[in-house]
Chains A and B, each alone.
Chain A
Amino acid sequence: MRVRLGWLASGLAVAFVLSLMAGAHWVGPVKVWHALWSPSATDVDDLLIRTTRLTRTLVALIVGAGLGMAGGIMQTLTRNPLASPGLLGINAGALFVVVLLVTLGGALPVWLVSAGAFGGAALAAAAVWWIAMGRPGQAGPLRLILAGAALTALFHAFSQALLVVDQQGLDSVLFWLAGSVSARPLSEVWPLMLLSLVALLACWPLSGQWNVLAAGESIAVGAGVRVGRLQGVSVALIVVLAGAAVAMAGNIAFVGLIVPHVARRLTGPDHRHWLPAAALVGATTLLLADIAARTLILPGEVPIGVMTALVGAPLFMGLIRRQGHLND
């Protein structure tokens, strides 16, 4: 398993370098090395790499890792292989707050809109969790999914109503709908990156408990897991990881859904290997998607969320057809 994680890490490193090289103007690997370690203040390539490319590369890396990890946790929490962080209403909540802010305030500072998106994600997830809980200790997976679907529909309805009233707002929220890792300078996204990084590391010591929870709540209680507390912590981590992702890069589809499956194929169901693999695969996937997004239709760019959906949706359909035991 260590070997496989090593391979995945190497793959990520390659994708990282490739992401710094690729674009309308390609830069060689040696030049990339120089730009990173001994940049010249006047060289255009160095400047290009150190500003826009490094930023979007880091954003793609963190967002991808966060979505992969959050998706894995979500699938364990709901015991549903087709669950994704979006089911907690995270994307819908973030989008609603963004639309609300843009409609009310017009040209607001980007950090405020990002903070709003994160807040909306957290609010939606908290509401879904509260509805699904019902009585203490009763947050069954099915209730969670149903509550998430209901709240997602509600938030989307609000968002659409606001956009119909204020059509100018549509342009400013397009970025959130389609997803992008290139719209932000590093100076504005670093707090969210840091938050994600902390959450990613915080997942490590919980792996053993998730392994037990995956066998069912009764089994987990029997084996001495504090199930209610673990579920609460899991939801909080999903909110931070997926909420920060949507606040940094907008709505990026399918990564949180597909990546955990791919990772699980590679490592098996042990969370101590599976979740790190999901983070690595997620980061690599989003880097590759971003490279494709900015090189496919030069000089234009495909929104990265569209890229991930183009690749992710067919994979997902294949997955549904192959899953024989979904009726269990």
Chain B
Amino acid sequence: MTTIAAHELTLGYQRRTILDALSLTLPEGRISVLVGSNGCGKSTLLKALARLLLPWQGNVILDGRDIQRQPTRAVARLLSLLPQQPMAPEGITVRQLVTLGRHPHQSWLAQWSEQDERKVEQALTRTELSEFAERRVETLSGGQRQRAWIAMAVAQDTPLMLLDEPTSFLDLAHQMEVLELLASLNRESGKTIVMVLHDLNLACRYADHIVALRDGRIHAQGTPHEVITRQRVKEIFQLDCQVIDDPYFHTPLCIPFARREGR
């Protein structure tokens, strides 16, 4: 199995510090969701975990070693990343896109193999895109397109998947579709999933572990029941709400009030 952790991570953009000596260990084989208000640093944290950003201080530890000191191709065999709103090259087909996920498994010595072919087919089947394999990505609906990008990450065949707001700009049905797919990848293939989500209620439904960030620090972490309470939500989002038990899934359900009308 593969573990990922942040150790005393400090970084930002230009001179502005976004993350301030943040340490975090994410549970293996679980779904972790990063939540927090806009600008709290959750996307930055995810990018740092994916080695897209270089820490000013501290480090990201992948399998016990500093991620920046490992060959990027070797890292890509352990960790895949779906950034916010990726744009597919014009004219690329779903199959070609999914094939890109096999890049870290290829080299001068190991060219395209049957194993690669099989992993691409599996990823297409897994994401129910087999019938769209030869379609151009730009002709797909938003939900299908997001599934195609997830299929690329699935073809990369990594024990760890990082996703930055995978449900943004999707309607509720497509959000559910994407989250169900990720949950099943976690359940059936034991993948560790770390993602940023904005919808607290969906986060509570799908997360094993929630990490709430505020001003570049971890404000609270734990199970949804531990983290999503009336008091905590008020601290994290400066928002009054009532948290009740979801009558159906028995996860916390947050009912927000307008900031002024707090009761």
Same complex origin of A and B: yes
Contact of A269 (CB < 8 Å), options: B89, B106, B156: B89
B75 interface residue (CB < 8 Å to A)? yes
DSSP class of A's interface residues: helix, strand, loop or mixed?
loop
A160 to B91, CA, bound (A): 42
Query: Contact between B77 and A328 (Cβ–Cβ < 8 Å)?
Result: no
Chain A residue nearest to B75 in the complex (CB)? A224
Q: How far is the CB of A114 from chain B (nearest CB, A)?
A: 35
> In the complex, are the beta carbons of A221 and B51 less than 8 A apart?
yes
Q: Return chain B residues, CB-CB under 8 Å to A219.
A: 81, 83, 86, 100, 152
Interface residues on A, range: 20 to 34
Which one of B83, B92, B108 contacts A218 once the chains associate, using CB atoms below 8 Å? Answer: B83
When C-beta atoms are compared, the residue in chain A nearest to B149 turns out to be A219
| Contact residues in A for B89 (Cβ distance below 8 Å) | 214-215, 269
A131 is an interface residue with CB less than 8 A from chain B: no
Inter-chain contact A268/B91, CB cutoff 8 Å:
yes
The distance from the CB of B25 to the nearest CB of chain A, in whole angstroms, is 22
Minimum CB–CB distance from A78 to chain B (whole Å) comes to 13
B interface residues, tally (CB under 8 Å): 36
Check B156–A223 contact: CB distance below 8 A: yes
B40-79 at interface with A (beta carbon < 8 Å): 47, 50-52, 54, 72-77, 79
The docked-state distance in angstroms from the alpha carbon of A269 to that of B108 is: 22
Residue of B at shortest CB range from A136?
A: B54
CB <8 Å contact, B83 and A328: no
Q: Within 8 Å CB of A81, what residues of B?
A: 90
Rank and list the top 8 A-B pairs by shortest CB-CB distance, nearest first.
A224-B76, A222-B81, A224-B104, A218-B83, A224-B73, A214-B89, A223-B103, A269-B91
Instruction: List 21 A-B pairs, Cβ < 8 Å.
Output: A79-B87, A137-B54, A205-B108, A216-B87, A218-B52, A218-B81, A219-B83, A219-B100, A219-B152, A222-B81, A222-B82, A222-B153, A223-B100, A223-B104, A224-B73, A264-B91, A268-B91, A268-B92, A268-B96, A325-B90, A325-B138
Q: Which residues of B are interface residues toward A (Cβ below 8 A)?
A: 47, 50-52, 54, 72-77, 79-83, 86-93, 96-97, 100-101, 103-104, 106, 108, 138, 152-153, 156
| Interface residues in chain A, defined as those with a beta carbon under 8 Å from any beta carbon in chain B | 79, 81, 136-137, 205, 208-209, 211-212, 214-216, 218-219, 221-226, 264, 268-270, 325, 328
